[in-house]
Amino acid sequence: MDTINRRQWLKNSLATSAGLSLLPLNVFSETDTAHTRKNQIDNNDSVRRLLYNENHLGPSKSVEDIIKQVTFRSNRYSTFYEYDANALKQLIAEQEGLKPENVLLGHGSFEPLIWTATHFGSKGEQIIVPSPTFDVIGLFARKIGANVVPVEVDSDFKMNLTEMESRINPKTSLLTLCNPNNPTGTAIETDTLKSFCRMVSDKTTILVDEAYIHFMNSWKEKSMAPLITEGKNILITRTFSKIYGLAGLRIGFMLGPESIIAEMEKKFTLGFPGNMPNSLSVASAIVSLKDDAFLETSRNNNTKIRKEFCNALDAMGLNYLGSEANFVYFDVKNFKPYKELMLKNNILLAGGWPTKPNWARVTMGSEEDISFLFDKMKGKKWL
């Protein structure tokens, strides 16, 4: 497929899936239900998905190629061949300077996050989470009876690490962080985070969700994964859904100390090799990890579009947070009419969450998506 056809195909398939069964994940509040959105976008075939922080460039060409090659093996469980789950664990381990025993694969990173909530919260333990954040762990842990303690970000929207540490007590089993954070897009300064993790992981297990870390320059230096080799009590989650453009294939992983990974693997997968993530997603993840060029293109493209987006916000005099991810969180003054305006123009986005009820989060789509969005904002007096 040449680039133009591929883009058109991508656009068509996005539009179809959005029109048919878009179920927006609402981790933050009950306000934007799938139902209301779907009603408003029904019968439209060109929806701009600036909602889920997906990579608008699509998966890489190497993924398209490998899927063609491995589809014929779909009759087999994904074991004992070149692109099986063990090969993926091995590759992740090599790239992170860890062992395959430090890696737990899941269907998206969502699955390891839910497993973590279960593992650390099912006996009524205390789990400390930042707020706001993409709080799968807190949501799930509450359901199973854990005492979830949210700690609000400070006035600069930075995670309040001091306050989080001060809430640790003997019942605390886990403290979670997200870096860069969703929905703010802000990141914690690396040395600050490192020394926090080093010190505080002696008191409780720390999980750092690094779903968006690849969008940062020199991201490897900013990851907390090396602390695992130092023997620290740290868990890291990563996903192929964001910069790698594989959200629909549902694959992600957790890194952690061998003892925790072994316990969780035994508990949640029974160690059954055939139940690893499916062969297409595993093979796609393997080729993606080897495709540095795609990663770089995606990162550079995101940085450029994000800069243009922020320049446009500056020109309109709207407040926003400096983002290190593939979305920007900004003040639209009144979220309700803003969202209505966007939906009328088939733009899907998120926001209206309690901490900042009039702020919106927009995923960095294509340049065309972004200029379309600003075009619709132009001349609106309330903005």
Considering only residues 308 through 327, tell me which ones interact with ligand PLP, judged by CB under 6 A: none
Which of 60, 109, 118, 223 touches ligand PLP (CB under 6 A)?
109
Instruction: Identify which of residues 118 and 182 has a Cβ nearer to ligand PLP in the complex.
Output: 182
Least Å from the CB of residue 79 to ligand PLP: 23
Nearest CA to 255 out of 128, 100, 72, 60 is that of: 100
Residue by residue, DSSP assigns 212-243 as: TGGGSTTHHHH-STHHHHTT--EEEEEESSST
Nearest CA to 351 out of 373, 333, 368, 374 is that of: 333
SS3 142: helix
Instruction: Identify which of residues 134 and 338 has a Cβ nearer to ligand PLP in the complex.
Output: 134
Does 330 bind ligand PLP (CB under 6 A)? Our answer is: no
Give the span between the Cα atoms of 85 and 92, in whole angstroms: 11
Which residue minimizes CB distance to ligand PLP?
108
Kind of pairing between the strands at 147-152 and 126-131: parallel
Q: With beta carbons less than 8 A apart as the criterion, state whether 155 and 148 touch.
A: no
Alpha helices in the chain (DSSP H): 3-21, 34-41, 61-70, 85-96, 110-121, 136-143, 161-166, 190-200, 219-222, 226-229, 258-269, 279-290, 292-316, 335-344, 367-377
Instruction: Identify which of residues 169 and 328 has a Cβ nearer to ligand PLP in the complex.
Output: 328
Binding string, residues 150-189; x marks residues near ligand PLP by CB under 6 A: ----------------------------x---x-------
Which of 14, 47, 51, 53 touches ligand PLP (CB under 6 A)?
53
Instruction: Identify which of residues 179 and 201 has a Cβ nearer to ligand PLP in the complex.
Output: 179
10 Å Cβ neighbour count for 352?
Answer: 21
Least Å from the CB of residue 70 to ligand PLP: 21
Which of 47, 206, 211, 285 touches ligand PLP (CB under 6 A)?
211
Extract the tokens encoding 273.
């090799």
Considering only residues 119 through 148, tell me which ones interact with ligand PLP, judged by CB under 6 A: 134
Query: Among the candidate windows 84-92, 108-116, 154-162, 259-267, which touches ligand PLP by CB under 6 A?
Result: 108-116
Query: Among the candidate windows 102-110, 123-131, 300-308, 346-354, which touches ligand PLP by CB under 6 A?
Result: 102-110
**How many residues of this chain bind ligand PLP (CB under 6 A)?**
13
Extract the tokens encoding 119.
């593992």
Instruction: Identify which of residues 106 and 121 has a Cβ nearer to ligand PLP in the complex.
Output: 106
Does 110 bind ligand PLP (CB under 6 A)? Our answer is: yes
Least Å from the CB of residue 4 to ligand PLP: 28
| Burial class (CB within 10 angstroms; exposed 0-12, middle 13-18, buried 19+) of 101 | middle
DSSP run (H or E) holding 129: strand 126-131
B/e letters for 333-344, b = 16+ CB within 10 Å, e = fewer, are eebeebbebbbe
Q: With beta carbons less than 8 A apart as the criterion, state whether 129 and 151 touch.
A: yes
**325 contacts: CB under 8 Å, gap ≥ 6:** 53, 180, 182, 185, 212, 215
Binding string, residues 235-254; x marks residues near ligand PLP by CB under 6 A: ----x-x-----x----x--
Give the span between the Cα atoms of 377 and 383, in whole angstroms: 8
Least Å from the CB of residue 317 to ligand PLP: 29
Considering only residues 33 through 52, tell me which ones interact with ligand PLP, judged by CB under 6 A: none
Which of 84, 96, 135, 209 touches ligand PLP (CB under 6 A)?
209
Query: Among the candidate windows 104-112, 149-157, 316-324, 368-376, which touches ligand PLP by CB under 6 A?
Result: 104-112
SS3 322: coil
Does 22 bind ligand PLP (CB under 6 A)? Our answer is: no
Cis upstream peptide for 180 (omega within 30°): yes
Least Å from the CB of residue 142 to ligand PLP: 17
Binding site for ligand PLP (CB under 6 A): 53, 108-110, 134, 178, 182, 209, 211, 239, 241, 247, 252
